Structure 1
Amino acid sequence: MPIKFRSTPVSEPLTFDSIGNSWNQEDLSRPEGYPLYHYLQTEKGTGRITIQGKKYILNEGEGVLIAPFISHSYYRQTEEWMTSFATFTGVIESSISTMLGNRQVIFIEKEQGTKISALIANVMEKYENPPVDVKLLSIDCYCMLMNFVDGIYTNDLINDPLYQRYIDPVIKEIETHYDMELTVQELSGQVFITPQYLSRLFSRFLGCSAYEYLTTYRINKAKEFLLIYPRMKVEDIAQRVGFLDASHFIARFRKITGITPLEFRKLNRSYS
């Protein structure tokens, strides 16, 4: 049951935080979701996955990519359920959602799953022959993510008129001006709807409220600053990502990641 975890600081644009195959998958429940984008694919047997209350079956060769902090659980449907998986990180981790069309869940069918299985096996082989070239791993990570980029366009939600009219322009505004004093009130006003309706649309399409999306985007940008600029003060990073109060920034960072900004920076230094 091979599984590999990242053992170096996050210095590449994109990389695997963990990856594995031939894994005897156990039942598990994550009411608060997982803190990174992660992919699960059935190698043998059948599993049932519940995502935000909706149940799906993963047959052999089928997989699913789930965004951070999306509630889910796994249960085996057959006596033996073997899986492969990967979790994704990197200094531009916050750009993954944009790459994926801001989708929270992407299902992969067997044909595409065969390609992803081959990529995972190739990465696992590289880990078996150290030293591992972290730049090549970053390229492999990007190539794997591109499989999910292909997959998003098979779903019609991204072309929904409500998404195009209200969600897409708000996301672009957040990505462009996250460092400014944005509020849900202001964002909803730009597309001429109420804050409550905007948040309902975000929940429908992205699985989170508009405020949660804005806050998570800012925290992900803060992670980049913490790693790219190791001498930059936390107070300055807070301002750079749109928080006027450093204490509020630290509290939100800890609530989302489970650790403080300085602990995050120290943790990612400790691997060197």
Structure 2
Amino acid sequence: MEQIARRKEWVIEGLRRRFLFATGENELPLYVESIGFNPAQEPVARSNGYNYFHWLQTLEGEGDFELSGKRFSLPRGNGTLLFPGVPHVYVPKGKAWSTLYITFGGTLAVSILASLGIRHTEWFQWHDDAPLTAHLMQMIEEAQHDEDRSGLNASSQLYRFLTYIKIYGRTGGRSSLFQHLEKLDPLLLWLDRHYGDPEIGLTDMAEQLGISPRYLNALFRQAFGITAYAYLIRLRIRKAKELMSRSDRKSVKEIAQLSGYRDPSHFIAAFGKTEGMTPEQFRRLHGLSV
């Protein structure tokens, strides 16, 4: 409710906000070039695209967007992330169209976006209760009161905003990462309690959600990029590292058993494959050996 009231207040107030950030000689890995709110978005046509990454979303009203010869509608709860140099046109549709935008670059911008699964111009939708709009509005308000214009705070807030796009944004009608995690949450909580049971298999995990093993693996790949059993192995190794970090100095055999492995040699092999070192090497690296 607070987010809706704040959004309407901005629209009624109708004050355009635009802030530019000067970049220093040593360019940040990720930096904001400009950010703002436009209460009456004007038509824009860029035959050569824009020089920076450009996020544009609707706050109220609706816009028409033309991209690569195709036309799209941009109602509230929709946004697009344009890559540099992509030709585009957008115009208001019907009544006044108010938008939020942010443009950005940086030496690691491409790789950061790729790590979030965004490798080209994308179109996103999200639910009203997602924090994307509120976070971007907060960034604009902070820019308004940031006296030094260093851009450092904006850079960190930009990274958070991009992760929100990854978590809550839906593309091509598919479910968002947040929706996948919601579906998996009962199983993830169950695994956190029962990871030490060596009998757990893919079928047991699927039964916790009442779905097929094949669909379970599809959900895990969409959420984490790995299979359900690969997630369980990573969970067991993480729990094993926590056990090794404690002061009671359990043996490798004890840690293997507590982490869901019957055979210490199997645990050592799995640990080495995941961490690139043996459990004892891990202990020495972190100063845990006696």
TM-score, length-normalised on structure 2? 0.49
Structure 2: which amino acid aligns with 1:134? G
CA distance in 1, matches of 2:64, 2:29: 33
- Indicate whether 1:67 and 2:83 are aligned: yes
Moved more, 90-99 or 68-77: 90-99
- Indicate whether 1:104 and 2:120 are aligned: yes
Match of 1:2 among 17, 27, 43: 17
Question: Computing the radius of gyration over CA atoms, which structure comes out larger, 1 or 2?
Answer: 2
Match of 1:85 among 101, 106, 110: 101
CA distance in 1, matches of 2:146, 2:169: 35
Match of 2:160 among 143, 148, 152: 143
Specify every segment of 5 or more residues in structure 2 that has no aligned partner in the other structure, as ranges. 1-15, 175-290
**Alpha carbons 2:32, 2:151 under 8 Å: kept:** no
1:11 is displaced (CA, Å) by 3.2
More relative contact order in 1 or in 2 (CA 8 Å, sep 6+)? 1
CA distance in 1, matches of 2:75, 2:169: 20
- The residue that corresponds to 1:168 in the other structure is none
1:108-128 C-alpha deviation (Å, 9 max, x unpaired): 224278522211211122122
SS for the counterpart of 2:104 is strand
Specify every segment of 5 or more residues in structure 1 that has no aligned partner in the other structure, as ranges. 158-272
CA root-mean-square deviation: 2.6
CA distance in 2, matches of 1:43, 1:111: 13
1:7 is displaced (CA, Å) by 2.1
Aligned length: 157
Seen in structure 2, the aligned counterparts of structure 1 residues 36 and 100 have a Cα distance that, compared at 3 Å, is farther
Match of 1:49 among 44, 65, 71: 65
CA distance in 1, matches of 2:134, 2:173: 28
1:151 is displaced (CA, Å) by 5.9
Structure 1: which amino acid aligns with 2:27? S
- Indicate whether 1:117 and 2:129 are aligned: no
**Alpha carbons 1:34, 1:68 under 8 Å: kept:** yes
Moved more, 40-49 or 100-109: 100-109
1:156 is displaced (CA, Å) by 9.2
SS for the counterpart of 2:131 is helix
- The residue that corresponds to 2:51 in the other structure is 35
1:5-61 C-alpha deviation (Å, 9 max, x unpaired): 112326322121111014421111112211221111111111000110111101123
**Alpha carbons 1:61, 1:113 under 8 Å: kept:** no
Structure 2: which amino acid aligns with 1:17? E
- The residue that corresponds to 1:178 in the other structure is none
Seen in structure 2, the aligned counterparts of structure 1 residues 2 and 156 have a Cα distance that, compared at 3 Å, is closer
Seen in structure 2, the aligned counterparts of structure 1 residues 23 and 8 have a Cα distance that, compared at 3 Å, is farther
CA distance in 2, matches of 1:21, 1:113: 20
SS for the counterpart of 2:27 is coil
Moved more, 147-156 or 83-92: 147-156
Seen in structure 2, the aligned counterparts of structure 1 residues 148 and 99 have a Cα distance that, compared at 3 Å, is farther
Seen in structure 2, the aligned counterparts of structure 1 residues 50 and 140 have a Cα distance that, compared at 3 Å, is same
Seen in structure 2, the aligned counterparts of structure 1 residues 113 and 22 have a Cα distance that, compared at 3 Å, is farther
Seen in structure 2, the aligned counterparts of structure 1 residues 81 and 34 have a Cα distance that, compared at 3 Å, is same
Structure 2: which amino acid aligns with 1:54? K
CA distance in 2, matches of 1:42, 1:156: 18
What percent of counterpart residues are identical? 27
CA distance in 2, matches of 1:30, 1:100: 27
SS for the counterpart of 1:24 is coil
